[in-house]
Amino acid sequence: MRISDRYIGKQVLLGTLYAVLVLGLVLVLGNLFKKIQPLLVEQKAPLELVLRFVLSVLPLSLMYTVPWGFLSAVLLVFGRLSAAQEITGFRVAGISLARLSLPVFFIGALLSLASLWLNINVVPQSKASSVQLLYEQASRDPDSLLKPGVVQGNFRGDGEDVQKVLIEGKSGEWVEGFHFYQIPGGGGDLTYVHATKAALAVDHARSQLRVKLENAYFETHKSGGKVEMAFAGNAEPLLIDLKKPGNRRARASAMTNEEILQFLADTPDLSREKRVRFRAEITKRYSFSMACLAFAFIAVPLGLGARRRDSSSGLVLSLLIGTGYFLVTMLAEQFQSDAAATAVLWAPNVACVLLGLILFRRARFK
């Protein structure tokens, strides 16, 4: 290993680390706090739940910030080396631009392999666990998520139905002023239940919240406009499902590749559009993982081209390239065929490599 390899490799690694931290603070934490706000403000969840939610969401940011951070680091390092005429000194010493860039490609390949492992194994599990946290907390202690005057709307009914719960107060093991709403998601019946008192209990075997009602009032709005009402002094337990949403509505982003393939095999009646979306999720994990290696091709010559500018231009350029890269991949969800979705997902990587080779060739003669 040459001294130049250690010199450039060390700067790129440190620059990547710093860039990931900066991008994480600027781009990720804002969205993270947006997701945490309902837990803290609307649901007044316990601190333990909030901390677990933060830890489960943070790995998701690495899917984007690692490639972005690597791109920023290479642009800044080679821009500074070029501005200080160090690149010229290396080339005068007989080191070609391609050989000088070898540690960049080596680091890019390692980061791509790390991203591949992260995107396939860690990210789906992290997404699934972040969604499941509220349901686990409700199963352990439903009172912790049912605060007086706070609407709890994270439950799901049959199909696309949404269930919301509101209580007015608590008295020992009972809640007072219990309100339950079931809002149809597919044109079904709207249901409202009110009880002056209600007792909560969790059926762990069925993952259900059982609510025993006293002085209950039931109101159902039929899809045809008819309204049905009923009263009961004591009502049988109202059941609210606490099972994780994945058991009702599969989410490709929260499933491993094996789970996606198994789900597609077990669901032959799934629409073509959803099948394309599920298979595109697998392709996206592989294409995103190769972003670091693809960025290595384009970042080195672009960094050299920014030598006459201030160092902040490298970060701005990386933000523009990274934003364009990830925006293009989002178009894959709009296509109705696997071939089109795959082409769109891999197009940014291919474009970065081809454009990088052209810019490398031009930079050799400057």
Do residues 226 and 104 both lie within one domain?
no
Place 289 in a pLDDT band, splitting at 50, 70 and 90: very high
Q: Kindly state whether residue 126 falls inside one of the protein's structural domains.
A: yes
Residues 16 and 87 in one domain: yes
- Return the higher-pLDDT residue of 180 and 31: 180
Is 358 in the same domain as 322? yes
pLDDT score at 95: 84
Q: Please state the domain count of the chain.
A: 2
Output the CA–CA distances (angstroms, integers) from residue 128 to 115, 278, 279, in the order listed.
18, 16, 18
Domain boundary, last residue among 222, 245, 268:
245
| 130 and 16 belong to one structural domain | yes
Residue 190 contacts residue 220 (beta carbons within 8 Å) = yes
Range in 135-139, 187-191, 257-261, 328-332 the model is least confident about:
135-139
Mean pLDDT of the chain: 79
Does 31 share its domain with 82? yes
Tokens of 78: 């080679």
Domain containing residue 319 = 3-138+250-364
pLDDT digits (tens, 9 = 90+) for 106-145: 999 999 999 999 999 888 887 777 666 666 665 666 655 5
Average pLDDT over residues 236-246: 62
At residue 131, the pLDDT reads 62
Answer yes or no: is 99 within a domain. Answer: yes
Rounded CA-CA distance 105/58 in Å is 27
Q: Do 126 and 20 belong to one domain?
A: yes
27, 110: one domain:
yes
The pLDDT value recorded for residue 310 is: 47
Tens of pLDDT, residue by residue over 180-234, are 888 886 667 888 999 998 887 777 666 677 888 899 999 988 877 788 888 888 8
Question: Per-residue pLDDT for 349 more than 50?
Answer: yes
Q: End of a domain among 245, 271, 288? A: 245
Q: Is residue 147 part of a domain?
A: no
Residue at which a domain ends, from 210, 245, 280: 245
| Sheet (strand 208-221) strand order | 152-156, 162-171, 174-183, 190-203, 208-221, 227-241
- Give the model's pLDDT for residue 336: 72
| Residue-level pLDDT at 247 | 43
Query: Quick one: 14 and 132 in the same domain?
Result: yes
pLDDT score at 58: 76
Q: Are residues 42 and 98 in the same domain?
A: yes
Could you tell me if residue 306 is inside a domain?
yes
Residues 260 and 133 in one domain: yes
149, part of any domain = no
Give the residue among 153, 199, 146, 191 at the shortest CA–CA distance from 168.
Answer: 146
What is the model's pLDDT at position 36? 62
Give tens-digit pLDDT for 161-177: 778 888 888 877 788 89
Do 259 and 225 lie in one domain? The reply is: no
Mean pLDDT of 308-331: 70
